[in-house]
Amino acid sequence: MTEPAVPAPAAHPRGRRGRLKVFLGAAPGVGKTYRMLDEARRRAARGTDVVVGYVECHRRPHTEEKLEGLEMVPRAERDYRGGVFTEMDLDAVLARAPEVALVDEMAHTNVPGGRHAKRWQDIDVLLKAGIDVVTAVNIQHLESLNDVVEKITGVPQRETVPDEVVRRADQIELVDLPAEALRRRMAHGNVYAPEKVDAALSNYFRVGNLTALRELALLWVAGRVDEALQKYRSEHGIARVWEIRERVVVAVTGGPEGETLIRRAARIAARAAGGDLLVVHIVRSDGLADASPAALARQRTLAESLGGTFHSVVGDHVPDALLDFARAESATQLVLGISRRGRLARFLTGRGVGETIVERSGDIDVHMVTHERAGRGRLLPVPSSSLPRARKVAGPLAGLLLPALLTTVLANSRGHLNLTSEALLFLLAVVGVACIGGVASALLASVTASLLLNYYFIPPIGRFTIGETNNILALAVFALVAVTVATVVDRSLRLSRRAASATAEAETLSSLAGSILRGDEAVEALLHRTREAFGMESAELVHGSRGDGAGVDDLAEGVVAVPVGPDDALVLRGRRLAASERRVLIAFAGHVASALERARLAEAAAEVEPVKAADRMRTALLAAVSHDLRTPLAGAWAAVSSLRSREVEFSAEDQEELLATAEVSLDRLNRLVDNLLDMSRLQAGALSLALEPTSVAEVASLALDGLAESTIPVTTGGLEDVPFALADPPLLERVIANLVTNARRYAPEGTAVLLSASALGGRIELRVVDRGPGLRPPDRERVFEPFQRLGDTDNTTGLGLGLALSRGLTEAMGGTLTPEDTPGGGLTMVLSLPAADAPVEGATAPAGGEEALT
């Protein structure tokens, strides 16, 4: 569609993007439009240039009073399917260039013929032009909640707005009203006309529905507020915990006690309404040999089933990494398991992770949870990835004190051991020092041990001299062996740490790749995981910045950037990264680049999909025409050819039979061609409508009279008792005829098809009920696909367009056609149309407003 010429947004005098304010309501009638107009009047009173681009008052007197005195931009009129409808004139608002524009019903679908399909797209153009916009939307129109609202209310919402569009608003104000208060407003006639109140209160506006919608709105806004708070804390460098709501972090190691800890933490989080559960696994560079990937996968599944989230964080020092994560997530409580280390391990290494975290947790409450594996884990401690400060100090001290202590013990037991045994004990002490403090400490220990061995145990004792040549050789060999063993031990520990570090990196990337393969990682979520995995304050994609390098660049102190493509860079802010972490970050950047590429490919695929659908339709159409039109053509051709033949003399009865055969075949051919043409018009959006108040009883009578004779009777009920429906009578007649014909086809002999009507909440429902085999749940949507008979091999009955055409015609009139199970067996097709005095949703570019929900 060619867009009309409009003023360039960049020419707007303000030269900035406009600000968006959204009034979000839990349900129709809570007062969003009223509050929006009240806001406009206050701004206008302060001297702000405010205009009304589009406001729908739904004939509510109090709301209409608020419009008085406000400048309104004339609406644009558009012809659509035989009617004239009004929409916001986007070009006129842009030309008027106010400071603030009021645009109601953000999720509204525009009448075809305008620049955009959705009103929120019009709003985005106004914002780009520097115009501030005030708008309103209900919680049921948010894309992510659309299916949830339908399950709660039973009313499908066909008009939605992407959550991200609303989340980007500069201000979101919740218009809240208790369920009983809203019902009182309706009873007083402040929402709907009196004749519609009873239906609305008993249908959509039940107390349970309104309460659930209100909770959805409150939770959604609370999430948006939490995002804003986290952004504020990050921008202002606030690290201390603000106990706004309970956020429980539980640390798991991948051990067997993990499920116990997760369930305990979930119970703690459940005690506070709205509490969050975050399960975190610290990927240590020592690899945590007992962290089974299968166990971690089970614990991830358990956490998500309990409503929590699972996070993997890289950290060389577990207490620091865990506390950094907890503070970054504003955790109020931290759940840890009692250490699995045995007594000997605790004696040798002193305080463990739990004790360290308790001491340094500050204002975060720490729960130490016992479990069946407590104290029954490893006998010896697992060496850490790098020497902590305590071991760097303990190594040299041990290199001095341990040989001295061994000398004291051996001197007091002189005479019991020979020189060889004493030298071996000193050698063992040197190896022990190497395990504690590395090769440097071992060298110090070997020198100390050599001197002490010389002075106290090699004759002449008490002097730094050696009396025998053999003793000189023994001492030299001792020193060489001590240094060699210490070097080998230290090298082995270093290689072990490197291998474990590589394992940890692989585990982190495997977890990330698994999440991406499961399809739960969008680009934004991937950035969030990158931020938390490296303990950074923020992670974002920057377009056109530092995208030409091949490695990681430090832009400033604590700011790291890595290219993810020719024009984009992944930028993290927070702390400096070690070389090993940078390698992992580059791998993360590769995943981000892949996610961006997938997003671009998805957009390209979405653009190609309509073309593929059209190709499939053309292919199916050609196949159907070549097969299904052949039978009536062959019948009519044979009858006419026989009548024209001069070789056979037909009696009057034979001629009459041949003419009847030709008439029936041509009549079938005419119906098939009509269906094909109508389906083509529907596909092209060129079907003309003439919607008018329509008597359901009269149209149903005409439809039944035109049906072919059948042994399956049709009974009716309630057709005379319902108000007029807003429909196109000829199209409605065809829909009813198609539905009844389809029901007759599958109804068993001896049963009847029921056609009934009822009025419910401003809509007229027609039900076509049969006692046939019914439909399996997976087939309930497939049955509406063109050229689909669901295994019916009788191709002589048509092209398989009946139900597809019926749904298309129904939706064109603003109605719905859905299948239901008939109680006791069979299928019920429910045709729902708006009543003549109710607004139309769908047929005439639905207003997305509040009237259609009753």
Residue 296 contacts residue 254 (beta carbons within 8 Å): yes
221-228: long-range contacts, CB 8 A cutoff, minimum separation 24: 221/24, 221/172, 221/174, 222/274, 224/167, 224/172, 227/167
Look at 14-28, 152-166, 278-292 and tell me which has the smallest mean pLDDT. Answer: 278-292
Q: Is the pLDDT of residue 551 over 50?
A: no
Look at 226-235, 261-270, 660-669 and tell me which has the smallest mean pLDDT. Answer: 226-235
Rounded to whole angstroms, how far apart are CA atoms 498 and 117? Answer: 57
- pTM (whole model) above 0.85: no
Rounded (5°) CA angle 506-511-515: 145
Rounded to whole angstroms, how far apart are CA atoms 159 and 177? Answer: 23
Please compute the mean of the pLDDT values over residues 413-427 and round it to a whole number: 81
Rounded to whole angstroms, how far apart are CA atoms 39 and 412? Answer: 93
| Residue whose pair of structure tokens reads 């014909």 in the numeric block | 741
- Cβ-Cβ contacts under 8 Å for 323 (sequence gap 6 or more): 357, 360, 361, 364
- Predicted local confidence at residue 544, as pLDDT: 62
- Predicted local confidence at residue 750, as pLDDT: 87
Q: Is the pLDDT of residue 671 over 80?
A: no
- Predicted local confidence at residue 522, as pLDDT: 58
Give 515 or 100, the one with higher predicted confidence.
100
Which strands sit side by side in the sheet containing 365-369, from one edge to the other?
309-314, 276-283, 247-252, 333-337, 365-369
Q: Is the pLDDT of residue 243 over 80?
A: no
Q: Given pLDDT bands bounded at 50, 70 and 90, which one contains residue 8?
A: very low
Residue 811 contacts residue 842 (beta carbons within 8 Å): yes
Q: Is the pLDDT of residue 790 over 50?
A: no
Q: Given pLDDT bands bounded at 50, 70 and 90, which one contains residue 103?
A: very high
Q: Given pLDDT bands bounded at 50, 70 and 90, which one contains residue 775?
A: confident
Q: Is the pLDDT of residue 4 over 50?
A: no
Task: Rank 193-202, 374-383, 659-668, 716-725 by mean pLDDT and report only the highest.
Answer: 716-725
Give 370 or 90, the one with higher predicted confidence.
90
| Residue whose pair of structure tokens reads 């291998």 in the numeric block | 499
Residue 803 contacts residue 742 (beta carbons within 8 Å): yes
Q: Is the pLDDT of residue 50 over 90?
A: yes
H-run or E-run covering 727: strand 725-727
- Predicted local confidence at residue 676, as pLDDT: 61
Please compute the mean of the pLDDT values over residues 398-409 and round it to a whole number: 87
- Predicted local confidence at residue 255, as pLDDT: 79
- Predicted local confidence at residue 49, as pLDDT: 93
Q: Is the pLDDT of residue 267 over 80?
A: yes
Give the tokens for residue 455: 């002075």
Residue 561 contacts residue 543 (beta carbons within 8 Å): no
Mean pLDDT of the residues in the chain: 76
Rounded to whole angstroms, how far apart are CA atoms 35 and 644? Answer: 79
| Residue whose pair of structure tokens reads 């934004």 in the numeric block | 524
Residue 95 contacts residue 7 (beta carbons within 8 Å): yes
Give 81 or 264, the one with higher predicted confidence.
264
Give 454 or 405, the one with higher predicted confidence.
405
- Predicted local confidence at residue 756, as pLDDT: 92
Please compute the mean of the pLDDT values over residues 383-406 and round it to a whole number: 74
Please compute the mean of the pLDDT values over residues 331-348 and round it to a whole number: 71
274-319 per-position pLDDT tens digit: 678 999 988 765 444 456 677 888 888 888 888 888 888 877 778 8
Q: Is the pLDDT of residue 491 over 50?
A: yes
Q: Given pLDDT bands bounded at 50, 70 and 90, which one contains residue 99?
A: very high
- Percent of the chain's residues with pLDDT above 90: 12
- Predicted local confidence at residue 208, as pLDDT: 83
Q: Given pLDDT bands bounded at 50, 70 and 90, which one contains residue 3?
A: very low
Q: Given pLDDT bands bounded at 50, 70 and 90, which one contains residue 385?
A: very low
Look at 504-508, 584-588, 817-821 and tell me which has the smallest mean pLDDT. Answer: 504-508
